[in-house]
Amino acid sequence: MLKVGLTGGIGAGKSEVSRLFVSYGAVLIDADRIAREVVEPGTPGLAAVVEEFGPEVLTPEGTLDRPKLGSIVFNDPQRLAALNAIVHPLVGARSAELEGLAGPGDVVVHDVPLLTENGLAPLYDLVVVVDAAPETQLDRLVRLRGMTESEARARMAAQATRAQRQAVADLVVDNDGPLEALEPQVRKIWAELRERAAESR
Protein backbone atom coordinates (compact mmCIF):
# COMPACT_ATOMS: atom_id res chain seq x y z
CA MET A 1 0.00 0.00 0.00
CA LEU A 2 1.23 3.49 -0.82
CA LYS A 3 0.12 6.27 1.53
CA VAL A 4 -0.08 9.62 -0.26
CA GLY A 5 -0.75 12.98 1.38
CA LEU A 6 -2.57 15.38 -0.95
CA THR A 7 -2.70 19.06 -0.09
CA GLY A 8 -2.90 22.53 -1.62
CA GLY A 9 -3.95 26.06 -0.75
CA ILE A 10 -7.58 27.11 -0.82
CA GLY A 11 -8.66 27.64 -4.43
CA ALA A 12 -5.69 25.69 -5.84
CA GLY A 13 -7.94 22.91 -7.15
CA LYS A 14 -7.16 20.06 -4.76
CA SER A 15 -10.74 18.71 -4.89
CA GLU A 16 -10.51 18.31 -8.66
CA VAL A 17 -7.21 16.43 -8.33
CA SER A 18 -8.62 14.10 -5.67
CA ARG A 19 -11.67 13.48 -7.89
CA LEU A 20 -9.35 12.48 -10.76
CA PHE A 21 -7.32 10.17 -8.49
CA VAL A 22 -10.54 8.42 -7.42
CA SER A 23 -11.59 8.02 -11.07
CA TYR A 24 -8.29 6.21 -11.71
CA GLY A 25 -8.82 3.87 -8.75
CA ALA A 26 -7.32 5.55 -5.69
CA VAL A 27 -8.75 4.92 -2.23
CA LEU A 28 -9.63 8.43 -0.99
CA ILE A 29 -9.61 9.38 2.68
CA ASP A 30 -11.01 12.91 2.91
CA ALA A 31 -10.00 14.61 6.17
CA ASP A 32 -12.60 17.39 5.77
CA ARG A 33 -15.43 14.91 5.26
CA ILE A 34 -14.29 12.85 8.25
CA ALA A 35 -14.00 16.03 10.36
CA ARG A 36 -17.70 16.65 9.62
CA GLU A 37 -18.67 13.03 10.34
CA VAL A 38 -17.02 12.92 13.77
CA VAL A 39 -19.13 15.86 15.02
CA GLU A 40 -22.50 14.74 13.63
CA PRO A 41 -25.44 14.70 16.08
CA GLY A 42 -25.20 11.85 18.57
CA THR A 43 -21.42 11.48 18.29
CA PRO A 44 -19.00 11.72 21.23
CA GLY A 45 -17.18 14.33 19.13
CA LEU A 46 -20.14 16.71 19.09
CA ALA A 47 -20.75 16.18 22.81
CA ALA A 48 -17.11 17.13 23.51
CA VAL A 49 -17.35 20.26 21.33
CA VAL A 50 -20.52 21.37 23.15
CA GLU A 51 -18.89 20.72 26.51
CA GLU A 52 -15.91 22.88 25.48
CA PHE A 53 -17.71 25.72 23.65
CA GLY A 54 -21.23 25.69 25.10
CA PRO A 55 -24.64 24.91 23.59
CA GLU A 56 -24.60 28.17 21.57
CA VAL A 57 -22.48 26.35 18.92
CA LEU A 58 -25.53 24.21 18.06
CA THR A 59 -28.25 25.08 15.57
CA PRO A 60 -31.89 24.81 16.74
CA GLU A 61 -31.94 21.36 15.05
CA GLY A 62 -29.04 20.17 17.21
CA THR A 63 -26.35 20.10 14.52
CA LEU A 64 -23.04 21.93 14.79
CA ASP A 65 -23.31 25.58 13.77
CA ARG A 66 -20.08 25.74 11.78
CA PRO A 67 -20.12 29.48 11.01
CA LYS A 68 -20.73 30.21 14.71
CA LEU A 69 -17.92 27.90 15.82
CA GLY A 70 -15.69 29.30 13.09
CA SER A 71 -16.21 32.84 14.32
CA ILE A 72 -15.14 31.77 17.83
CA VAL A 73 -11.93 29.98 16.80
CA PHE A 74 -10.82 31.84 13.68
CA ASN A 75 -8.89 34.60 15.43
CA ASP A 76 -8.22 32.87 18.73
CA PRO A 77 -5.30 30.40 18.64
CA GLN A 78 -6.13 29.00 22.09
CA ARG A 79 -9.76 28.25 21.22
CA LEU A 80 -8.64 26.77 17.89
CA ALA A 81 -6.14 24.54 19.71
CA ALA A 82 -8.94 23.38 22.04
CA LEU A 83 -11.11 22.48 19.04
CA ASN A 84 -8.24 20.70 17.29
CA ALA A 85 -7.49 18.70 20.45
CA ILE A 86 -11.02 17.28 20.21
CA VAL A 87 -11.34 16.79 16.45
CA HIS A 88 -7.83 15.77 15.28
CA PRO A 89 -7.56 12.52 17.30
CA LEU A 90 -11.03 11.47 16.12
CA VAL A 91 -10.15 12.21 12.48
CA GLY A 92 -6.85 10.35 12.88
CA ALA A 93 -8.54 7.27 14.34
CA ARG A 94 -11.23 7.17 11.63
CA SER A 95 -8.62 7.72 8.87
CA ALA A 96 -6.56 4.81 10.22
CA GLU A 97 -9.69 2.63 10.29
CA LEU A 98 -10.49 3.44 6.64
CA GLU A 99 -6.87 2.94 5.62
CA GLY A 100 -6.96 -0.50 7.22
CA LEU A 101 -9.64 -1.54 4.71
CA ALA A 102 -7.37 -0.87 1.70
CA GLY A 103 -5.58 -3.69 -0.08
CA PRO A 104 -1.79 -4.22 -0.14
CA GLY A 105 -1.37 -2.85 -3.69
CA ASP A 106 -3.72 0.13 -3.27
CA VAL A 107 -2.80 3.79 -3.52
CA VAL A 108 -4.43 5.48 -0.53
CA VAL A 109 -4.79 9.23 -1.02
CA HIS A 110 -5.28 11.27 2.15
CA ASP A 111 -6.85 14.60 1.16
CA VAL A 112 -5.60 16.87 3.98
CA PRO A 113 -6.08 20.65 3.52
CA LEU A 114 -3.84 21.62 6.46
CA LEU A 115 -1.17 18.96 5.98
CA THR A 116 1.67 21.52 5.84
CA GLU A 117 0.34 23.69 8.68
CA ASN A 118 -0.01 20.71 11.03
CA GLY A 119 3.37 19.15 10.15
CA LEU A 120 1.79 15.92 8.88
CA ALA A 121 4.08 15.24 5.88
CA PRO A 122 6.10 12.51 7.73
CA LEU A 123 2.92 10.40 8.05
CA TYR A 124 2.89 9.67 4.30
CA ASP A 125 5.12 7.79 1.87
CA LEU A 126 5.01 10.87 -0.30
CA VAL A 127 3.23 14.21 -0.53
CA VAL A 128 1.52 15.63 -3.62
CA VAL A 129 0.95 19.39 -3.57
CA VAL A 130 -1.56 21.07 -5.88
CA ASP A 131 -0.01 24.43 -6.64
CA ALA A 132 -1.44 27.64 -8.08
CA ALA A 133 -0.23 31.23 -8.00
CA PRO A 134 -1.87 33.37 -5.26
CA GLU A 135 -3.55 35.54 -7.92
CA THR A 136 -5.09 32.40 -9.47
CA GLN A 137 -6.35 31.27 -6.06
CA LEU A 138 -7.81 34.72 -5.36
CA ASP A 139 -9.56 34.84 -8.73
CA ARG A 140 -11.13 31.40 -8.21
CA LEU A 141 -12.30 32.17 -4.67
CA VAL A 142 -13.96 35.40 -5.75
CA ARG A 143 -15.30 34.20 -9.10
CA LEU A 144 -16.25 30.59 -8.32
CA ARG A 145 -16.95 30.61 -4.58
CA GLY A 146 -18.49 34.06 -4.31
CA MET A 147 -16.12 35.33 -1.59
CA THR A 148 -15.29 38.99 -1.25
CA GLU A 149 -11.68 39.81 -2.06
CA SER A 150 -10.85 40.65 1.58
CA GLU A 151 -12.51 37.42 2.79
CA ALA A 152 -10.52 35.40 0.23
CA ARG A 153 -7.25 37.10 1.18
CA ALA A 154 -7.88 36.44 4.89
CA ARG A 155 -8.53 32.73 4.21
CA MET A 156 -5.37 32.48 2.13
CA ALA A 157 -3.29 34.32 4.73
CA ALA A 158 -4.45 31.88 7.44
CA GLN A 159 -2.85 28.99 5.52
CA ALA A 160 0.75 27.97 4.86
CA THR A 161 2.62 29.93 2.21
CA ARG A 162 3.20 28.56 -1.27
CA ALA A 163 6.91 28.09 -0.44
CA GLN A 164 6.10 26.18 2.78
CA ARG A 165 3.85 23.78 0.85
CA GLN A 166 6.41 23.28 -1.90
CA ALA A 167 9.05 22.50 0.73
CA VAL A 168 7.13 19.37 1.86
CA ALA A 169 6.17 18.28 -1.69
CA ASP A 170 7.55 15.16 -3.34
CA LEU A 171 5.42 15.79 -6.43
CA VAL A 172 3.79 19.06 -7.53
CA VAL A 173 0.70 19.46 -9.73
CA ASP A 174 0.75 22.85 -11.47
CA ASN A 175 -2.88 23.99 -11.58
CA ASP A 176 -2.45 27.54 -12.80
CA GLY A 177 -3.88 26.77 -16.20
CA PRO A 178 -7.26 25.59 -17.53
CA LEU A 179 -8.93 22.37 -16.37
CA GLU A 180 -7.94 20.47 -19.52
CA ALA A 181 -4.25 21.03 -18.71
CA LEU A 182 -4.74 19.37 -15.31
CA GLU A 183 -5.82 15.87 -16.31
CA PRO A 184 -2.68 14.80 -18.25
CA GLN A 185 -0.47 15.93 -15.33
CA VAL A 186 -2.53 14.05 -12.75
CA ARG A 187 -2.62 10.94 -14.94
CA LYS A 188 1.18 11.02 -15.20
CA ILE A 189 1.52 11.33 -11.41
CA TRP A 190 -0.99 8.50 -10.99
CA ALA A 191 1.20 6.23 -13.15
CA GLU A 192 4.14 7.01 -10.89
CA LEU A 193 2.09 6.33 -7.75
CA ARG A 194 0.92 2.96 -9.13
CA GLU A 195 4.52 2.05 -9.88
CA ARG A 196 5.64 2.94 -6.36
CA ALA A 197 2.71 1.02 -4.86
CA ALA A 198 3.70 -2.06 -6.84
CA GLU A 199 7.30 -1.73 -5.66
CA SER A 200 6.21 -1.35 -2.03
CA ARG A 201 4.45 -4.74 -2.21
Are 125 and 200 in contact by the 8 Å Cβ rule? The answer is yes
Are 142 and 152 in contact by the 8 Å Cβ rule? The answer is yes
pLDDT band at 188 (very low <50, low <70, confident <90, very high): very high
Residue 177 confidence (pLDDT): 87
For the stretch 71-89, pLDDT in tens is 899 879 899 999 999 999 9
For residue 22, is it left (φ>0), alpha (ψ between -120 and 50) or beta? Answer: alpha
Residue 178 confidence (pLDDT): 86
| pLDDT (mean) for 184-195 | 96
Task: Compute the distance between CA of residue 151 and CA of residue 133 in angstroms, rounded to an integer.
Answer: 17
Q: DSSP for 69-85?
A: HHHHHTT-HHHHHHHHH
Q: Which domains does the chain show, CATH number per domain? A: 1-26+106-201 (3.40.50.300), 31-104 (3.40.50.300)
What pTM was estimated for this model as a whole? 0.87
Residue 74 confidence (pLDDT): 81
Residue 39 confidence (pLDDT): 97
For the stretch 85-133, pLDDT in tens is 999 999 999 999 999 999 989 999 999 988 999 899 999 999 999 999 9
For the stretch 38-69, pLDDT in tens is 999 999 999 999 999 999 999 999 999 999 99
Query: Of 90, 184, 174, which is closest to residue 130 (Cα–Cα)?
Result: 174
